[in-house]
């Protein structure tokens, strides 16, 4: 009992804003705490069932919404820390607890007595006095039971539960395998001549990485701040090939980290799950609860974009190929050549050198610039909070205020390490919700893998990293500005093909001189970024737009291919991917995206990767209003906040968009921005 009584995960956190006391939480605390929290959840649900009063929205729907708060608090910590500061011990704990969590979730969603009360309230919905948010929660709760198999015969319910439990394990294992392969590869260089073409920032970072590991020379990894610049700038074609092959074969080595069998099993189980519920494919099951609505509508959307992007992409590739041949490449342009020659052509055509911009993007200055932008648009203030505990010494915490009103805590974790998966993301340790008069404010986390400080230089970002920072900050503020009553509807808990709109919207500011001039200053001289640099950046905005759009469409079509199968994938993942993609560069056997495609096999984007392009259409349209009314227009920003950001998932996103724009989405702004219209050619 002492392990329960003294477990910090089960105690009230007497910390600022009830933030997690990370230093007190040890890996061994998670399993007993989760077991106790599951039992608490069971008791709370039983109380709902045993209530002798007739089912009401309050005593059933709201009570169920808040029945597993403790469990949510604990798993919010465990899974987020496992992504950004993991260990072998923590990874094993995750694998140990996910079956228990899956069984509990299935047990609740299959509980006939509980569903009877939910159904009673749902059937009375037209006679109840519910606001829009309450109606959404009621609909979501009812559909949650239906879409999780409550109506199935007993034998099929049992099979459905088995599928959910197995999927919970497989998706975690997929992610861990990718992380293991990401960490397993390094390129160790001891001959300085092999660094030809690499910028000083890459060389210095590689030198420091080698020193951290007590090695001589330079060490390059598959972390993107190392991998990306290497592929763009290294003059050593053989080393680019080596790096490319390593990056594009993660999870595909036929060893203990191989993901092919996991992909086949995940895909098969997802189909079986959808089929049990009466859907033809897993895509049909997922798209029913998305803005796009149906597989037919999705195919129409993807085809329209492909028709616009493909000829532009082919032109992009031909230009890079011609440039490469004119500058010494013999034979076929290979995948490991594209980034290198594309960067060279970009420099020649637009005098655009990403390394020229880097000195103007000091991480701390970029952070201050983003803080100031959100102050200007929404009146937010960010104050460093060293008194708030963090999970790793590299993470920092900020308190966020709107005037005197406390809005939440923002954690930021910016640099790669072996304990962190690749990429960049926003998540939360706690979402926003209201408990009577008490407004529970969110604890938001931004995790990135940005370039580190090197030697006596501060951390200097690439332009792409600045865009990523703005993107993830957009997600974070979607969560931070939330103002709803129920956590399951707060912040980024929106339909998946809408969730990227507020984040992609913020990337538009990165190309605006008025914004860049507020923070982009040379880290040594203090000089504001030259206007000619910004103009070059803007001129290069449509560079490779067709090629990059086609790449995103290819990934989306690969996702759809896996999830429109009927669970009978006889060939390996590579062949499925190859058939789905319109590849412009030569295919290299044994190298693919699927076996490291964490978005769809472990990250919640299954049948939803298209959402990035869908949301890009929306964000271009929304930004057209800011362009018209002013990119710092606080009235426009306030309208976006009130009509979209603060609503979370309490109102359907199509309605939110209409409320802000006064009409349905128009693809015109996206087509113009991408250069896919005749007036841009």
Domain residue spans in the chain? Answer: 2-109+111-147, 185-247, 359-544+611-680
Which strand (E) or helix (H) includes residue 327? none
Confidence (pLDDT) at 311 = 96
DSSP per-residue string spanning 77-94? HHHHHHHHS--HHHHHHH
Distances (CA, A) of 464 to 63, 89, 233, 355, 511: 45, 34, 15, 11, 11
Residues 210, 200: Cα–Cα separation, whole Å: 15
Residues 287, 607: Cα–Cα separation, whole Å: 7
Q: Which of 62, 105, 472, 500 is catalytic?
A: 472
Query: Is pLDDT at 678 greater than 60 in this prediction?
Result: no
Confidence (pLDDT) at 208 = 95
Query: Is pLDDT at 657 greater than 70 in this prediction?
Result: yes
Model confidence, pTM? 0.94
Name which of 206-215, 350-359, 406-415, 419-428 the model is least confident about: 350-359
Residues 379, 401: Cα–Cα separation, whole Å: 8
Mean pLDDT of 606-627: 96
Phi, psi of 187 (to 5 degrees): -110, 110
pLDDT digit string, tens, across residues 250-301: 999 999 999 999 999 999 999 999 999 999 999 999 999 999 999 999 999 9
pLDDT digit string, tens, across residues 91-125: 999 999 999 999 999 999 999 999 999 999 999 99
pLDDT-derived band at 569, boundaries 50, 70, 90: low
Residues 578, 562: Cα–Cα separation, whole Å: 12
Residues 105, 75: Cα–Cα separation, whole Å: 13
Residue 530 is classified by DSSP as P
pLDDT digit string, tens, across residues 189-227: 999 999 999 999 999 999 999 999 999 999 999 999 999
Report helix, strand or coil for 333: coil
Alpha helices in 448-516 (DSSP H): 463-480, 501-507, 513-516
In CATH terms, the fold of domain 359-544+611-680 is: 1.10.1370
Confidence (pLDDT) at 624 = 96
Q: Which residues on neighbouring strands pair with residue 521, listed in sequence order?
A: 528
Confidence (pLDDT) at 33 = 97
Residue 472 falls in the annotated catalytic set? yes
pLDDT digit string, tens, across residues 33-80: 999 999 999 999 999 999 999 999 999 999 999 999 999 999 999 999
pLDDT digit string, tens, across residues 472-529: 999 999 999 999 999 999 999 999 999 999 999 999 999 999 999 999 999 999 999 9
Confidence (pLDDT) at 336 = 98
Taking alpha carbons only, the member of 670, 668, 673 closest to residue 542 is 673
**355 vs 112: which has the higher pLDDT:** 112
pLDDT digit string, tens, across residues 167-190: 999 999 999 999 999 999 999 999
Mean pLDDT of 583-610: 94
Q: Which residues on neighbouring strands pair with residue 402, listed in sequence order?
A: 380, 405
Confidence (pLDDT) at 352 = 81
Query: Is pLDDT at 236 greater than 70 in this prediction?
Result: yes
pLDDT-derived band at 570, boundaries 50, 70, 90: low
Confidence (pLDDT) at 681 = 42
**631 vs 677: which has the higher pLDDT:** 631
Distances (CA, A) of 491 to 314, 475, 482, 507, 649: 39, 8, 5, 19, 7
Confidence (pLDDT) at 565 = 85
pLDDT digit string, tens, across residues 319-344: 999 999 999 999 999 999 999 999 99
CATH superfamily, domain at 2-109+111-147 = Endopeptidase. Chain P; domain 1 (1.20.1050.40)
Confidence (pLDDT) at 395 = 98
Mean pLDDT of 427-439: 93
Name which of 148-152, 518-522, 569-573 the model is least confident about: 569-573
Confidence (pLDDT) at 1 = 61
Mean pLDDT of 524-541: 92
Q: How many helices (H) and strands (E) does the chain have?
A: 28, 9
pLDDT-derived band at 571, boundaries 50, 70, 90: low
% of the chain beyond a pLDDT of 90: 93
Average pLDDT of the residues of the chain? 95
Confidence (pLDDT) at 371 = 98
């Amino acid at each position: 009992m002492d392990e329960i009584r003294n477990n910090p995960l089960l105690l009230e956190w007497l910390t600022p804003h009830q933030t997690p006391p990370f230093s007190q939480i040890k890996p061994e605390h998670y399993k007993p705490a989760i077991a106790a929290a599951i039992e608490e959840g069971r008791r709370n649900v039983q109380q709902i069932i045993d209530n002798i009063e007739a089912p009401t929205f309050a005593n059933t729907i709201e009570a169920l919404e808040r029945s597993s708060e403790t469990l949510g608090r604990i798993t919010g910590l465990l899974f987020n820390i496992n992504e950004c500061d993991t260990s072998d011990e923590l990874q094993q704990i995750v694998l140990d607890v996910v079956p228990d969590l899956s069984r509990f979730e299935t047990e609740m969603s299959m509980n006939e007595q509980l569903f009877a009360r939910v159904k009673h309230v749902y059937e009375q919905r037209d006679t109840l006095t519910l606001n829009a948010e309450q109606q959404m929660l009621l609909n979501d709760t009812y559909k949650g039971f239906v879409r999780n198999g409550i109506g199935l015969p007993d034998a099929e319910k049992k099979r459905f539960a088995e599928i959910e439990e197995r999927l919970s394990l497989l998706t975690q294992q997929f992610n861990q395998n990718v992380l293991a392969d990401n960490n397993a590869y390094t390129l160790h260089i001891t001959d300085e001549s092999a660094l030809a073409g690499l910028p000083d920032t890459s060389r210095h970072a590689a030198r420091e990485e080698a020193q951290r590991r007590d090695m001589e020379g330079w060490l390059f990894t598959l972390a993107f701040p190392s991998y990306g610049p290497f592929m763009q700038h290294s003059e050593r074609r053989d080393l680019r090939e080596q790096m490319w092959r390593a990056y594009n074969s993660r999870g595909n080595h036929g060893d203990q980290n191989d993901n092919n069998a996991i992909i086949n099993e995940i895909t098969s189980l997802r189909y079986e799950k959808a089929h049990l519920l009466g859907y033809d494919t897993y895509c049909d099951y997922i798209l029913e609860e998305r803005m796009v609505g149906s597989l037919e509508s999705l195919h129409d959307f993807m085809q329209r974009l492909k028709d616009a992007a493909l000829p532009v992409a082919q032109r992009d590739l031909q230009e890079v190929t011609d440039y490469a041949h004119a500058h010494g490449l013999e034979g076929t342009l290979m995948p490991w050549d594209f980034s290198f020659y594309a960067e060279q052509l970009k420099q020649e055509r637009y005098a655009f050198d990403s390394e020229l911009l880097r000195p103007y993007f000091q991480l701390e200055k970029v952070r201050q610039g983003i803080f100031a932008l959100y102050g200007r648009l929404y009146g937010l203030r960010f104050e460093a909070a060293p008194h708030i505990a963090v999970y790793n010494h590299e993470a920092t915490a900020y308190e966020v205020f709107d005037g005197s009103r406390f809005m939440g805590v923002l954690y930021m974790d910016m640099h790669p390490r072996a304990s962190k998966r690749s990429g960049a993301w926003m998540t939360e340790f706690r979402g926003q919700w209201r408990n009577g008069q008490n407004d529970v404010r969110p604890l938001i986390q931004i995790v990135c893998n940005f370039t580190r400080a090197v030697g006596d230089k501060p951390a200097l970002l690439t332009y792409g990293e600045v865009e990523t920072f703005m993107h993830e900050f957009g997600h974070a503020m979607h969560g931070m500005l939330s103002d709803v009553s129920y956590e399951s509807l707060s912040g980024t808990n929106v339909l998946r093909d809408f969730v990227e709109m507020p984040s992609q919207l913020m990337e538009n500011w990165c190309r605006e001189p008025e914004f860049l001039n507020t923070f982009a200053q040379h880290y040594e001289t203090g000089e504001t970024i030259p206007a000619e640099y910004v103009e070059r950046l803007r001129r290069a905005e449509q560079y490779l737009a067709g090629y990059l759009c086609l790449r995103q469409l290819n990934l989306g079509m690969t996702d759809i291919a896996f999830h429109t199968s009927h669970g009978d994938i006889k060939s390996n993942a590579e062949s499925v991917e190859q058939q789905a993609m319109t590849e412009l560069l030569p295919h290299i056997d044994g190298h693919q995206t699927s076996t490291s495609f964490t978005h769809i096999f472990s990250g919640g984007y299954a049948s939803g990767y298209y959402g990035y392009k869908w949301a890009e259409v929306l964000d271009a349209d929304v930004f057209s209003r800011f362009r018209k009314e002013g990119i710092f227009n606080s009235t426009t920003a306030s309208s976006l906040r009130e009509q979209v950001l603060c609503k979370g998932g309490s109102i359907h996103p199509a309605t939110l968009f209409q409320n802000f724009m006064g009409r349905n989405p128009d693809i015109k702004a996206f087509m113009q921005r991408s250069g896919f219209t005749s007036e841009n050619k």
